[in-house]
C-alpha cells in the first residue's frame, strides 16, 4: 500500500494555510480545504508520478496544483514525501 509523509516544513505550511483559511473563509471551509489537501496527498502517495517534474526547484522534485496552492513532493519508497505547500503566487520565490 502506498502512503505519504510530510516534512516539518510541509506541516508548518499546512498550519499556516489552515489558520489563514479560518481567518478568511471560516473554520468549516478551512477544515474542508485541509481535508481535500490530505486527500490529494493520499492520491500522490498512491500515484507518485502523477505530478509534473519540478527539477527547476530541485532534482527529483515534483509538483501538483490543488486549489490556490502547489504541492511540492518527491517519490519516497512506495509513496510520496510532501516537501512544501506554497500559494501559487509564491512559487517563484520557493527555496527547498
CATH of the domain at 69: 3.30.2310.20
Domain tally, the chain: 1
What pTM was computed for the model? 0.89
Rounded distance between C-alpha atoms, residue 6 and residue 80, angstroms: 8
How far is it, in rounded angstroms, from Cα 37 to Cα 31? 10
Residue 77 confidence (pLDDT): 85
Q: How far apart are the first and last CA of the chain?
A: 28
| pLDDT tens for each residue of the chain, 96 residues long | 469 999 999 999 999 999 999 999 999 999 999 999 999 999 999 999 999 999 888 899 999 999 999 999 999 988 999 999 999 876 666 665
The 8-class DSSP code of residue 9 comes to H
Q: Look-up: residue for cell 477544515?
A: 31
Give the 3-state DSSP-derived string for 15-76, with helices as H, strands as E and coil as C.
HHHHHHHHHHHCHHHHHHHHHHHHHHHHHHHHCCCCCEECCCCCCCEEEEEECCEEEEEEEE
Structural domain boundaries enclosing 16:
4-93
Amino acid at each position: 500500500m502506498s502512503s505519504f509523509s510530510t516534512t516539518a516544513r510541509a506541516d508548518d505550511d499546512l498550519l499556516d494555510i489552515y489558520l489563514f483559511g479560518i481567518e478568511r473563509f471560516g473554520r468549516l471551509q478551512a477544515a474542508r480545504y485541509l481535508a481535500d489537501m490530505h486527500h490529494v496527498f493520499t492520491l500522490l502517495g498512491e500515484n507518485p508520478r502523477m505530478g509534473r517534474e519540478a527539477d527547476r526547484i530541485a532534482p527529483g522534485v515534483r509538483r501538483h496544483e490543488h486549489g490556490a496552492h502547489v504541492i511540492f513532493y518527491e517519490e519516497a519508497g512506495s509513496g510520496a514525501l510532501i516537501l512544501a505547500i506554497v500559494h501559487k503566487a509564491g512559487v517563484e520565490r520557493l527555496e527547498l
